[in-house]
Amino acid sequence: MNRKFARSRIALITGCVVLHAQQPVVENQQPPVVGIFNIEPPKVSPAITVNSERLRGLMRAGRLYLTLQDAIAAAIENNLDLQVDRYGPLRADWYITRQQGGGPLRGSTQNPGSVGITVSGQGVNGALSAAGLSTNNGGASASQNGGTITQIGTVTPNLDPTVYANTFRFSHITTPQASLAISGVQALVDDDRNIYPSFQEGFLTGGAVQAQLQYNYQKENSPGDVLRPSFLPAGYIYAQQPLLAGRGIAVNARFIHIAQKQAIGARLTFRSQLLNLVAAVVNAYWDLSGGQADLAARQSALEFAQRFYEDTRRQIQLGATAGVDIYRAEAEVTTRRQDLAVAQQTVSQQEIALKNLISRNGLGDPGLDSAAIVLLDRLEVPANEELPPLRQLVATAMAHRPDIQLDKINDEVSEISALGTQNSILPSLTSYGYVLNRGLAGFQSPISKYSAAPSQIGGNATALEQLFGGDYKSRYAGANFRGIIHNRSQQADFGIDQLQLRQGDLIEMKNHNDMVVAISNGAIAVRQAALRYHNAVATRELQQDLLDKEEQKFRLGSSTIDLVIAAGRTLISAQYAELDARTAYARARIGLDQTLGTTLETYHVSVDQALQGVVDTESKLPANLPAGGAK
């Protein structure tokens, strides 16, 4: 999975030209650049901080023209929160790669190390080592105490083949001798060359294999050495396999399987974040639509108040009404002008909220900051809101909601993880075996009173011939057992895992019940909002007729200014109620889609395109652009 994005390439940003590829990209050198080792670190593309060209393409004469789909597409391409969320699936892919390498969890220090087999018997120090005596030729050892993290459960061996060069040593050492019984000299002078390359690899069965080649050259001044210099090559192959704890592919591959599940979960999490973003954009779009409609209604109310003020003044000039009525008409104009100013500020705030959702730099772009938004779509409320039965709605939610699928993945992850704690309850029984071949050759020491065996006279070639010919074979096999009598820690770890699994089952059932209730409430809210809207439309139409009749009666002298103002205010309230009902319907419809998890399907949003950061739908402005905007 990680190879797909690891091989991707991203172009550089030049000037104000925006890349088509908006997604973060990780480059990993393929193939390795130095021999068999991949030492070139992955390269992550820089973050993109400028808006896509879509926004500029939708601007004309200081106005930003938006359909709902264009607003959604612009948000997918530019929203910073979504850009941050795109890194989640990429990290999940790298976690798969991390676990495929085996070893302990990240940050943990518990891991089966390599096996060191010492081949002794060369020179004075080799004789001391074989006798169980220790020597120190100027070496140093150090210990460090610090906090460590121990992984719970079986630790997977390192699955990446590893090459070690444990020792590359060339030394000339002079050591005073307290006893001449072994060395025969008062000061032992050693010229040594030691090379210990090795190879190690672990397997998902829990076992591991290690191969090592040792090369030792020594030349010293001890008369006890028959060979001077001497060549001692040795090679061994070591294998071990757990038979109880740590045994089996299922338990050792569990973190790979968990990482694969979590990669699916990361994509579902991104889908959830994308769903929330689309819902936020749709809400902001229809809020702004409602705000602009409210602004238009308050503008109409002000125009009506001004017109009525002029009519009242003419009536006073003709003597048809009392002069005191002008103050009431003037007060109505002042009130409507204040309402209009508040509505203008509300629309400005709603525009800022929408711009922040659909752009990277929000108000940091002067052109976008000064642009008034003109919405090209109008919300249509169906006459009859027909929704499927509750059972069908629940089935839809079960198939589409990311959190439902995430709960299932989390349950599967917990069950896979529990394999480790269950396996660790078993005692440790590890079988092992290794094959060791050695060679020994050199030249007769002129100061030794002993004679070397003829088969050992020679140089490197003779020693290697003995090594690969198996002249000095050693075979070892055995088993190590370790069992904790009470085993309380491992029992407790497994018990905790099982309790969490059972607890998770109950939580999942409770979440399902809550989801059913939320779906039922959401469906009721949509039906009620649609009914409320249509009732508000009918009320507004009735109040418009009443106002027209009251104005006609006022002109004929059969009504009063108080009645006209009252009828006008009632109409304005009905208009506001209609707008509120339409906005409430939009929110209820969006909320139901979120509850069902069908927001992306409703607005034709592709998760794959959102991950790439590019929507392939082209935005086209209509030939005849409407005027509008709050600025």
Is 30 within 8 Å of 10 (Cβ atoms)?
no
pLDDT at 550: 85
CATH code for position 510: 1.20.1600.10
Angle between helices 488-555 and 402-423 (to 10 degrees): 170
Same domain, 410 and 437: no
Is 219 within 8 Å of 179 (Cβ atoms)?
no
> What percent of the chain is modeled with pLDDT above 70?
84
Domain that holds residue 282: 256-414+496-612
Same domain, 238 and 262: no
Same domain, 401 and 436: no
Is residue 347 a part of any domain in this protein?
Answer: yes
Of 20-29, 267-276, 401-410, where does mean pLDDT reach its minimum? 20-29
Contacts of 479 (CB under 8 A, 6+ apart): 243, 429, 430, 431, 432
Tokens of 198: 């090795």
pLDDT at 24 over 70: no
Is residue 456 a part of any domain in this protein?
Answer: yes
Is 192 within 8 Å of 171 (Cβ atoms)?
yes
Which has the higher per-residue pLDDT, 549 or 145?
549
Cα separation values, 183 from 125, 161, 178, 442, 456, Å: 9, 42, 10, 19, 21
Arithmetic mean of pLDDT, 558-581:
84
pLDDT at 15 over 80: no
Q: CA 415, CA 303: separation in Å to the nearest integer?
A: 69
Same domain, 383 and 305: yes
Same domain, 174 and 306: no
Residue that is written with structure tokens 């891991």 in the block: 111
- Helices of type H across 185-253: 249-252
pLDDT at 308: 77
Of 117-131, 516-530, 585-599, where does mean pLDDT reach its minimum? 117-131
Residue that is written with structure tokens 């080649």 in the block: 213
Q: CA 22, CA 13: separation in Å to the nearest integer?
A: 11
Is 373 within 8 Å of 351 (Cβ atoms)?
yes
Q: Which of 30, 50, 70 is the last residue of a domain?
A: 50
pLDDT at 21: 43
Is residue 62 a part of any domain in this protein?
Answer: no
Which has the higher per-residue pLDDT, 282 or 105?
282
Is 585 within 8 Å of 533 (Cβ atoms)?
yes
Sign of CA dihedral 220, 225, 227, 231: negative
Which has the higher per-residue pLDDT, 77 or 129?
77
pLDDT at 31: 45
Is residue 451 a part of any domain in this protein?
Answer: yes
pLDDT at 40 over 60: yes
Q: How would you classify the pairing of strands 43-44 and 441-444? A: unpaired
pLDDT tens readout for residues 77-106: 999 999 889 889 988 888 888 888 887 766
Residue that is written with structure tokens 């070893």 in the block: 103
Q: CA 383, CA 538: separation in Å to the nearest integer?
A: 12
pLDDT tens readout for residues 338-370: 989 999 999 999 999 999 999 988 777 788 888
Range from 334-338, 361-365, 556-560 that averages highest in pLDDT: 334-338
Q: CA 507, CA 447: separation in Å to the nearest integer?
A: 84
Q: CA 477, CA 456: separation in Å to the nearest integer?
A: 29
Q: Which of 12, 27, 50 is the last residue of a domain?
A: 50
pTM for this predicted structure: 0.79
Cα separation values, 376 from 264, 285, 368, 449, 492, Å: 37, 10, 18, 107, 63
Local confidence band at 158 (pLDDT 50, 70, 90 cut-offs): confident
pLDDT at 420: 86
Same domain, 446 and 410: no
Arithmetic mean of pLDDT, 560-565:
77
Is residue 357 a part of any domain in this protein?
Answer: yes
Same domain, 166 and 222: yes
Is residue 85 a part of any domain in this protein?
Answer: no
pLDDT at 558 over 50: yes
Cα separation values, 368 from 20, 64, 360, Å: 20, 8, 11
Q: CA 381, CA 526: separation in Å to the nearest integer?
A: 10
Q: CA 55, CA 47: separation in Å to the nearest integer?
A: 19
Phi, psi of 198 (to 5 degrees): -145, 165
Diameter over CA atoms, the chain: 149
Q: CA 52, CA 14: separation in Å to the nearest integer?
A: 13
Helices (H) and strands (E) in the chain, counts: 18, 12
pLDDT, the chain, mean: 82
DSSP output for 415-478: HHHHHHHHHTTSPEEEEEEEEEEE--EEEE-TT-SS---GGGBS-HHHHHHHHHHTSEEEEEEE
Local confidence band at 283 (pLDDT 50, 70, 90 cut-offs): very high
Residue that is written with structure tokens 């993109």 in the block: 48
Arithmetic mean of pLDDT, 379-388:
86
Q: How would you classify the pairing of strands 227-242 and 59-60? A: unpaired
Find residue 480's DSSP bridge partners. 430
Same domain, 533 and 453: no
pLDDT tens readout for residues 54-79: 888 898 888 999 999 999 999 999 99
Same domain, 328 and 265: yes
pLDDT at 10: 31
Contacts of 467 (CB under 8 A, 6+ apart): 233, 234, 235, 437, 438, 439
Is residue 628 a part of any domain in this protein?
Answer: no
Q: CA 424, CA 155: separation in Å to the nearest integer?
A: 10
Which has the higher per-residue pLDDT, 152 or 442?
442
Is residue 81 a part of any domain in this protein?
Answer: no
Number of domains observed in the structure of the chain? 3
Q: CA 385, CA 627: separation in Å to the nearest integer?
A: 32
Arithmetic mean of pLDDT, 289-308:
87
pLDDT tens readout for residues 479-513: 999 988 988 988 998 899 899 889 988 998 999 99
* Cα-only R_g, the chain: 41
pLDDT at 150: 57
* Burial zone of 140 (CB within 10 Å; 0-12 exposed, 13-18 middle, 19+ buried): exposed
Contacts of 83 (CB under 8 A, 6+ apart): 22, 24, 47, 48, 360, 613
- Helices of type H across 101-217: 123-130, 180-183
Q: CA 545, CA 236: separation in Å to the nearest integer?
A: 103
pLDDT tens readout for residues 171-222: 888 888 887 777 778 888 888 888 888 889 899 998 999 998 888 888 888 8
- Helices of type H across 190-253: 249-252
Is 73 within 8 Å of 615 (Cβ atoms)?
yes
Residue 387: how many other CB atoms lie within 10 Å: 14
pLDDT at 100: 85
Could you tell me which of 443, 473, 475, 436 has the C-alpha nearest to residue 461? 443
pLDDT at 287 over 90: yes
Find residue 475's DSSP bridge partners. 435
Same domain, 110 and 222: yes
Tokens of 11: 């172009």
pLDDT tens readout for residues 191-205: 888 888 888 989 999
pLDDT at 136: 46
Q: CA 149, CA 129: separation in Å to the nearest integer?
A: 35
Same domain, 509 and 381: yes
Same domain, 436 and 402: no
> Rounded to 10 degrees, what is the CA torsion of 540, 544, 550, 551?
140
Could you tell me which of 210, 346, 269 has the C-alpha nearest to residue 85? 269
Arithmetic mean of pLDDT, 570-588:
89
